[in-house]
Amino acid sequence: MLPNMAIENTDWQENWAYLIGMQAYAYGFPAIYYTKLRFGMVRKPQGVINTPLNTLFHVPRLSDHNDQYGGSPMRDAIYSVAWLDLLTEPVVVHAPDSGDRYVSTQLAGFYSDLFGYVGPSVNEGRSQTALVVGPNWQGEVPEGIDVVMRSPTPSAFLVARVSTPGGADLPAARALQQQSWVKPLSIWQSGADTPEVREVLAPFAVTETLADFRTMSAAMRENPPPASDAALIRQFAQVGLGPMAETALDALDEATKRGLARALVDGPMLLEKVALTGGNTKQVDGWFYGDKNWGRMAAAGDFLGRASPQAYSGIIEHWIEQSTKLRTFIDADGQDLSGQYCYTLHFRKDQIPQAKAFWSITLYDERFNLVDNPIGRYAIGSLTDGLKFGADGSLEILMQHQRPAPELEANWLPVPEGKFNLFLRTYLPGPIVMDQSYAPPMVRKI
């Protein structure tokens, strides 16, 4: 030690716990979020989705402002969801023929990355029956199975979409939706009814000390992280977090508890800031692209990007060959989008997004939910009936809170009184959208 140098009396244990706690929160947030979502859909339903495990729940209507799950739901398709329990046995998933209609069935592990798709969107519009197995399953594949898909975790999340142009052909979309199903392997083989199982892990109450970290550790024990992440998991264990922890949270020293408590304050704020800026992705004219590795973030070593924007603002994201996304929170002047102003979004003919299936712009509030409006229009795009194009093939979208003159309503996207954001999606995108060389127009204040 150098002579006459004062040693600052800092509590290194608190700072070390804070540092590891922030890393653990970024790594484990998807598991925290999925535990809460599953609980709110399966064990204690809090919204429109009310489903047992291993059962496909069909939402027969387009998403609207009554769906308060966050996650930026799309408005161009009807959803079906299922929470899969693969610990006891595999699950059989079937997706029907769809012809030219966009139908996708995506499967995610419990940390929000995808492990594949079933059906038309990856099978040239044709049906497909998949055997979805857990990480340790070993067995014979029965006849009638087209593909085997292995989940990285014993719990998985399935989201299926059937596109419908603004709900204009909703009966046909619903009929196709009903042809998708999920069944445990033994039930599929026997023809019996799927038993109603709703016993799932409950998140810890917010009144509990370090509640989200308790939920995270429990979720990680239920769904162990991969062996490739062992170094991180051992580090989390040093401060009582994760499946390798040998010391209970309640038994930790007070300095470590303080550091973890700070991390649970700053962690959510960090994820919100990352979501608002799009993370480390390409930005162009006020819009930021979704990450090229969305749905594959862990493979790229990007656990912060997996937590946010992927899980935090999207719940589940597509691989880019299925869908690309651009988001903006600001106008051409760099100011937050707000319903106190009026805006236009003018696409030149050559700026209209390229998509084999369709494209749309959807508007969300600050919590990434759809916004109530007088005409029930939450999105606008290639599936919107009656859009008016300019003589030169251009398209101008009007965004404002107050109702415009009747002749302008065809291209009006209503906005809330407060802040909002826009999501530009393309499904089965063209090459310039997928390689991120496409630049959409800026949102301009009138």
Mean pLDDT for the stretch of residues 209-232: 98
pLDDT band at residue 5 using 50, 70 and 90 as cut-offs: very low
pTM of the full structure: 0.88
Mean pLDDT of 16-34: 98
Check whether 207 has a pLDDT greater than 70: yes
CATH of the domain spanning 45-190:
2.60.40
- Whether the predicted pLDDT of 165 surpasses 80: no
Residue 82 reports pLDDT greater than 60: yes
Average pLDDT over residues 171-198: 97
Decide if pLDDT at 334 tops 90. yes
Instruction: Say yes or no to pLDDT of 431 above 60.
Output: yes
CATH 2.60.40 in the chain, residues? 45-190
HEC states along the chain? CCCCCCCCCCCHHHHHHHHHHHHHHHHHHHHHHHHHHHHHHHHCCCCCCCCCCCCCEECCCCCCCCCCCCCCCCCCEEEEEEEEECCCCCEEEEECCCCCCCEEEEEEECCCCEEEEECHHHCCCCCEEEEEECCCCCCCCCCCCCEEEECCCCEEEEEEEEECHHHCCHHHHHHHHCCCEEEEHHHHHHCCCCCCCCCCCCCCCCCCCCHHHHHHHHHHHHCCCCHHHHHHHHHHHCCCCCCCCCCCHHHCCHHHHHHHHHHHHHHHHHHHHHHHHCCCCCEECCEEECCCCCCCCCCCCCHHHHHHHHHHHHCCCCCCCCEEEEEECECCCCCECECCCCEEEEECHHHCCCEEEEEEEEEECCCCCCCCCCCCCCEEECCCCCCCECCCCCEEEEEECCCCCHHHHHHEEECCCCECEEEEEEEEECHHHHCCCCCCCCCEEC
Residue 6 has pLDDT above 50, yes or no: no
pLDDT band at 2 (very low <50, low <70, confident <90, very high): very low
Mean pLDDT value of segment 324-328: 93
Model confidence pLDDT, tens digit, residues 118-157: 999 999 999 999 999 999 999 999 999 999 999 999 999 9
10 pLDDT band, cuts 50/70/90, is: low
Domain with CATH 2.60.120.600 in the chain: 283-445
12-38+202-277 — its CATH code? 1.10.3360
pLDDT > 60? residue 9: no
What confidence score (pLDDT) does residue 216 get? 98
Query: How far apart are alpha carbons 395 and 158 in whole angstroms?
Result: 35
Taking the C-alpha atoms of residue 317 and residue 332, their distance in angstroms, rounded to an integer, is: 27
Q: Is the pLDDT of residue 359 over 60?
A: yes
Residue percentage of the chain with pLDDT more than 90: 87
Where do the CATH 1.10.3360 domains begin and end in the chain?
12-38+202-277
pLDDT > 70 in the chain, percent:
97
- Tens of pLDDT, residues 242-292: 999 999 999 999 999 999 999 999 999 999 999 888 888 899 999 999 899
Region 106-117 average pLDDT: 98
CATH no. of 283-445: 2.60.120.600
Tens-place pLDDT, residues 235-250 = 999 999 999 999 999 9
Picking from 367, 353, 347, 362, the residue whose alpha carbon sits closest to that of residue 415 is 362
Q: What is the mean pLDDT of residues 21-48?
A: 96
pLDDT at 383: 85
d(CA 353, CA 440): 8
Q: Is the pLDDT of residue 158 over 70?
A: yes
At 344 the pLDDT is 97
Q: What is the pLDDT of residue 122?
A: 95
For 369-421, the pLDDT digits (tens) are 999 999 999 999 998 889 999 999 999 999 999 999 999 999 999 999 999 99
